[in-house]
């Protein structure tokens, strides 16, 4: 089994329901076990800023799937929930990114791990550190805490809903 971290984001419609459904679907095929859930954070949009606030969270999973297949499962969840790709960094009902897969670095045409922008995104690092304190970034060889310290503006990430561990949402096989 391999350990991986996945970030989720939504800024259209019933944002919390989309996060919840995405986690349910991901865990429903039996190959991905959701081990930990961060709290949900409400976050100001980064990049393209003329859009609504996001809900963001990070989950820790254990899986027998290799990274490419894990990515495909994530893209399938986006498809199942009806995501339409409008434009890069634009509004979306659901977005799933594979942040880390063990301590591997992967660079293929379709998949970059660690996620290439995770180190500059407080909306990723804050929930990730909540469930995985002490984790190191495989490429920089630096603790994620240090990378978060280097991000100047973190006020745009606010705790929205505290999640208490494993039984917060129904997941893994349901």
Ligand X SMILES: Nc1ncnc2c1ncn2[C@@H]1O[C@H](COP(=O)(O)OP(=O)(O)OP(=O)(O)O)[C@@H](O)[C@H]1O
Beta bridge partners of 161: 40
Is residue 100 a contact partner of residue 5, using CB atoms and an 8 Å limit?
yes
Separation of alpha carbons 66 and 110, rounded Å: 14
Q: Which of 55, 58, 59, 98 binds ligand X (CB under 6 A)?
A: 98
Distance between CA 132 and CA 117 in Å, rounded?
Answer: 18
- Residues 142-171 touching ligand PH2, rule: CB under 6 A, are none
- Catalytic pick among 95, 110, 117, 149: 95
In the annotation, is 95 catalytic? Answer: yes
Evaluate whether 151 touches 122 at the Cβ level (below 8 Å). yes
Task: Check if 121 is active-site.
Answer: no
Number of residues in contact with ligand X under rule CB under 6 A: 14
110 as an active site residue: the answer is no
3-class secondary structure, 39: coil
- 85 near ligand X, judged by CB under 6 A: yes
Which residue's CB is nearer to ligand PH2, number 81 or number 172? 81
Which residues, including other chains, have CB under 8 Å from residue 14's CB and lie 6 or more apart?
none
Using CB distances below 5 to 8 A depending on partner kind, what does residue 35 bind out of ligand X, ligand PH2, none?
Answer: none
Q: Does the annotation mark 97 as catalytic?
A: yes
Instruction: Identify what 107 binds: ligand X, ligand PH2, none; CB under 5 to 8 Å per kind.
Output: none
Q: What is the DSSP letter of 36?
A: E
H or E segment and range at residue 73: helix 67-80
Are 41 and 56 within 8 A, CB to CB?
yes
User: Which residues, numbered 41-60, are part of the site for ligand PH2 (CB under 6 A)?
Assistant: 43-47, 54, 56
Q: Considering only 25-33, 104-112, 134-142, 160-168, which stretch makes contact with ligand X by CB under 6 A? A: 104-112
Q: Which residues bind ligand PH2 (CB under 6 A)?
A: 9, 43-47, 54, 56, 89, 95, 123
């Amino acid at each position: 089994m391999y350990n991986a971290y996945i970030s989720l984001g939504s800024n259209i419609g019933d944002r919390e329901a989309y996060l919840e459904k995405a986690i349910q679907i991901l865990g429903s095929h039996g190959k991905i076990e959701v081990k930990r859930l961060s709290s949900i954070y409400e976050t100001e949009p980064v990049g393209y800023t003329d859009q609504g606030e996001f809900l963001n969270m990070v989950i820790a999973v254990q899986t027998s799937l290799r990274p490419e297949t894990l990515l495909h499962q994530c893209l399938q969840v986006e498809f199942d929930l009806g995501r339409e790709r409008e434009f890069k960094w634009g509004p979306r009902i659901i977005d799933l990114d594979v942040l880390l897969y063990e301590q591997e670095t992967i660079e293929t045409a379709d998949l970059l791990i660690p996620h290439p922008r995770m180190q500059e995104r407080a909306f990723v690092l804050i929930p990730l550190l909540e469930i995985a304190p002490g984790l190191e970034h495989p490429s920089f060889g630096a603790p994620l805490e240090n990378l978060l310290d280097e991000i100047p503006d973190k006020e745009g990430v606010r705790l929205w809903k505290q999640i208490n561990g494993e039984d917060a949402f129904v997941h893994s096989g349901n």
